[in-house]
Chains A and B, each alone.
Chain A
Amino acid sequence: MKKLRRKVYFVAGYNTISMGSGRKEFHPKKERPGLEDYIREAGQGTLKMIGGAQNVDECVIGNFMASRFNRQANLAAFFPYIDEGLRYKPAIRVEGACGTGGLALMSGIKSILAETAEVVLAIGFEVQNTVKAIYCADFLAPAGWAHDRKDGHAYFFPGQFSERAGAYFEKFGREITRKGFARWYRNAIENARLCETAQEYHNTIKDLEAAAMAEPNPKVFLENLTALDCSKVSDGASAIAIMSEEGLKRCGIPVSDAVEVVGYGQVEEDITKPPPDKTALTTMKKAVSNALEFAGITIDQVSTAEIHDCFTIAGIMAVEALGLAEHGKGPEYVIAGNTARDGKFPINTTGGLIGWGHPTGGTGVHMAVTLWEQLKGKAGAAQVNIPNDRPFGLMANMGGDDKTLVAIVFKR
């Protein structure tokens, strides 16, 4: 167990809608809000809860690939667009593929710890529906090693995780693993249906598991995964305030409204190397164990987690990386209902990347917002039970194929 040199709190989380296929109001050919609208909505949402821009010392924005999706860089300069009160304040942009949001949070935490700020406004976003999925695959591919791109699948990342799924099938059985995927999908959608901002909020499929058990078709998509095994292509932004005790006081927010950061694990793996074991998320395991050790707790004391299920197979392997199930037993653990909202260990309670959506650079921040809501009883219809003897929530945000990892433990 380590002790932070001073206390760090998260408060005032805000999510925009995760927009994209699945939402009734989404139409690929109709004009939609731009990245500036998403950034502003999320930023203003949080500022409103913390007494305005004058209370903010520093800002951090996480985004993966606006340079290609939106032909936009220099993103820190959008803070003054959110609120004139942020003009001339220090701000930075961070990037770590789909782990970007987690890095934005870490950057904010470090500013608090470094005592350069008492209040940090952290935002993460991505606006991806500017291109068709086939080009989206191009824009997301740099999350992996560029040298592998040429010989990779047209849908590069789905292709890599399809390979992982294939390896997992071979080692632990295809049928049971696919059943695990199907249950994972069902949980994701059932949770999303309870969260108004979720991309799958309007999902009306009756038998979710049966839909998810449809056979993959490599002629159309992938060898081992179907579209339902994949996270969404999303436009969305999330924001949260990171504060010291001093910061909370300044904003007039009682400590009881905030969650406390009690541990984190931020680790990187070599992007130029293939995963040491295709059937395991070894880097996520390291990040999570670092975070739990830092907090001085075990996974048994955690009541809920937000984990990076960019694909169902990633969700299954993440369950194992968290230590909830042994290697190879993830599918059984999920099938038994343990990770459902009424299960022993509810995971991704507003739908995760598959149900809520995956605006890549925003996902890590969205995880923190959801945990803040759940631990503070602010999750509305999506609220799960947080037992008194397990007052901790855990997030694990992943960039690339298990390369950039941020795990954070929050305490109610």
Chain B
Amino acid sequence: MTYEERLQHVSVLGAAGKMGSGILLLTAVEMADLSLKPGNKGKTFVLNAIDISDEALAGVMRYLRDQILKIAEKKVAGLRTVYAERRDLVDNDEIISQYIFDVMNVVRPTTRMESAYDSKMIFEAIKEDSALKIKIFSQINRNNSNQPWFFTNTSSIPITVLDEGAGLNGRIIGFHFYNPPAVQKLVEVIRSKNTLDEVHEFAMAYAKNLRKIVVPAHDIAGFIGNGHFMRDILYAVTEVHKLIKDMSVAEAIYAMNKITQEYLVRPMGIFQLIDYVGVDVCSFIMFVMNPFTKDEEIHSPLLDKLMGLGIKGGQFSDGSQKDGIMKYEKGKIVAVYDPVEEAYIPISRIQARVEEKLGKMPAPPAWKAIVGNKAKDEVLKPYFAEVKTAPGLGAGLTREYAKKSKEIGKHLVACGVAFSDADVNTVLLTGFFHAYGPINEYLD
């Protein structure tokens, strides 16, 4: 079966979710582009958008339309060539409208999972629950005579567990997009023990057509992205526990968030990132990873406690941040939750005290100013050189955090999750928008 034939009948499971809708969009565009090739005239391309909620599917169709419009506006020069034979389409506006129709026309929103029984390939972006995934994969596999291929977006469950659990005989691969899939360039590709070569080849071709940066990871729970992120969280929590000997919990959280954002020059502090992903999601990923990690406890009682207190984070459907460990107003942090007091403490009440405790710090460069800066090394080197010798609690925390982050990266290579230091850095640079990779020599 050719690449094109494989993509003639596709289903996305969990199509109305945050990840699923992005995968749906990218796949719909890829399929429509194939359908518009001169050789494919008359061939049908079907993309089932499967989810459990009709309401959410209606929302996803609106999302698709808005996104396809943006994509079409960007590539209208190329689309004019695609539609060169359509003499009735003259203005950019007409060409863009036609393209939106042609992409939307590929998509069939439905709540019926049976639609996937005719598909040749299945993208899965449902809840991070291995039993549920195995159940659905088995059901589709049993009822589908096409020997379909399964592309799972799991960020933490070993692919071999899903492969063997659902009896797929290697017709599965981990194809882990980053959030949001339409924007983030990174895809982690993970083969199960038995993943067929042709499935892997297809995955690479598909990623290339979507202009994604592929980082391969070994089939070890959490892979590279969450393998680093979850351990980063655990380290931050450990530091919070140390700091609360001398501070309130809210102050300690605020301090570590400030260290990890401003002083480590990251786009978000570690606790803000937990809120972005969702306290519940992070906690669940740890729960999934933990049974597979030997000699290491991937579990945070603090996150469990916050969950128990109803602190969840995550985002509203318009992409704005819900309150979580911190409270947000127009995207800015205004208060920090204190699980002891069970209340949000306004930043204004803790800021001065925390800053005094952290002590005088070398002035960090702004993440925004260096993330796309080719000469960022010239800024970061002297900054970390200062951090290296600066006295005070804050500088010490920054140093130790950076060292720990590097150690985690090195660990991922040593225990065989990542193929190389460079791959770890690529994941953090492209999947997490860090300005520099964790494996570096700034503090050596």
Write the residues of chain A forming the contact surface with B, with a CB cutoff of 8 angstroms: 132, 134-135, 137-138, 141, 149-151, 153-155
Contact = CB atoms under 8 A, between A and B. Distances in A.
Contacts of B84: 151
B77 A154 contact: yes
B307 interface: no
A153 B84 CA distance: 11
Nearest 3 Cβ contacts at the A-B interface: A138-B91, A154-B77, A154-B76
Contact of B87 (A137, A150, A153, A155): A150
Given A132-B73, A134-B73, A134-B76, A154 B87 contact: no
A358 to B, nearest CB: 20
Contact of B90 (A134, A135, A149): A149
Contacts of A138: 91-93
Contacts of A150: 87, 90
Contacts of A134: 73, 76, 92, 96
B200 interface: no
B93 A135 contact: yes
A143 to B, nearest CB: 14
B73 A141 contact: no
A85 to B, nearest CB: 41
A134 B72 CA distance: 10
Given A149-B91, A153-B77, 20 more contacts: A132-B73, A134-B73, A134-B76, A134-B92, A134-B96, A135-B93, A137-B92, A138-B91, A138-B92, A138-B93, A141-B91, A149-B90, A150-B87, A150-B90, A151-B84, A153-B80, A154-B76, A154-B77, A154-B92, A155-B77
Nearest to B87: A150
A137 B93 CA distance: 10
Contacts of B90: 149-150
A57 to B, nearest CB: 40
Nearest to A222: B77
B58 to A, nearest CB: 26
Nearest to B84: A151
A149 B96 CA distance: 15
A151 B83 CA distance: 10
Contacts of A137: 92
* Among B80, B84, B87, B90: residue with most chain A CB under 10 A: B90
A325 B366 CA distance: 50
* Among A135, A141, A150: residue with most chain B CB under 10 A: A150
Interface in B180-206: none
Interface residues of B, number: 11
Given A153-B77, A154-B76, A135 B87 contact: no
Interface in B33-88: 73, 76-77, 80, 84, 87
A141 B93 CA distance: 12
A132 B80 CA distance: 17
Interface in B77-123: 77, 80, 84, 87, 90-93, 96
A110 B397 CA distance: 80
A155 B76 CA distance: 9
A149 B73 CA distance: 18
A149 to B, nearest CB: 5
A154 B78 CA distance: 9
Contacts of A132: 73
B174 to A, nearest CB: 32
Contacts, number: 24
Contacts of B76: 134, 154
A155 B87 CA distance: 18
A5 B80 CA distance: 53
* Among B84, B87, B92, B96: residue with most chain A CB under 10 A: B92
B71 to A, nearest CB: 12
A150 B90 CA distance: 5
A251 B84 CA distance: 58
Interface string B374-401: 0000000000000000000000000000
A134 to B, nearest CB: 5
A153 B90 CA distance: 11
B25 to A, nearest CB: 20
Interface in B300-321: none
Contacts of B73: 132, 134
A332 to B, nearest CB: 33
B16 to A, nearest CB: 27
A153 B77 CA distance: 7
Nearest to B80: A154
A135 B77 contact: no
Nearest to A132: B73
Nearest to B91: A138
A150 B91 CA distance: 7
A74 B80 CA distance: 33
Nearest to B76: A154
Nearest to B86: A150
Contacts of B96: 134
Contacts of B93: 135, 138
A138 B84 CA distance: 16
Contacts of A155: 77
Contacts of A151: 84
A149 B90 CA distance: 7
A154 B77 CA distance: 5
A401 B96 CA distance: 26
A138 B94 CA distance: 10
A8 B100 CA distance: 55
A148 to B, nearest CB: 10
A132 B73 CA distance: 9
Contacts of B92: 134-135, 137-138, 154
24 contacts: A132-B73, A134-B73, A134-B76, A134-B92, A134-B96, A135-B92, A135-B93, A137-B92, A138-B91, A138-B92, A138-B93, A141-B91, A149-B90, A149-B91, A150-B87, A150-B90, A151-B84, A153-B77, A153-B80, A154-B76, A154-B77, A154-B80, A154-B92, A155-B77
A73 to B, nearest CB: 19
A223 to B, nearest CB: 11
A137 B73 CA distance: 12
A134 B80 CA distance: 12
A384 B367 CA distance: 45
A292 to B, nearest CB: 40
Nearest to A159: B77
A155 B96 CA distance: 14
A154 B74 CA distance: 11
Nearest to B75: A154
A57 B96 CA distance: 47
A149 B84 CA distance: 11
A153 B73 CA distance: 14
A150 B80 CA distance: 8
Contacts of B80: 153-154
A160 B347 CA distance: 57
Nearest to A139: B91
A159 to B, nearest CB: 9
Contacts of A141: 91
A141 B80 CA distance: 15
Interface in B262-301: none
A132 B87 CA distance: 24
B70 to A, nearest CB: 10
A137 B92 CA distance: 8
A149 B92 CA distance: 10
A134 B76 CA distance: 8
A172 to B, nearest CB: 27
Nearest to B83: A150
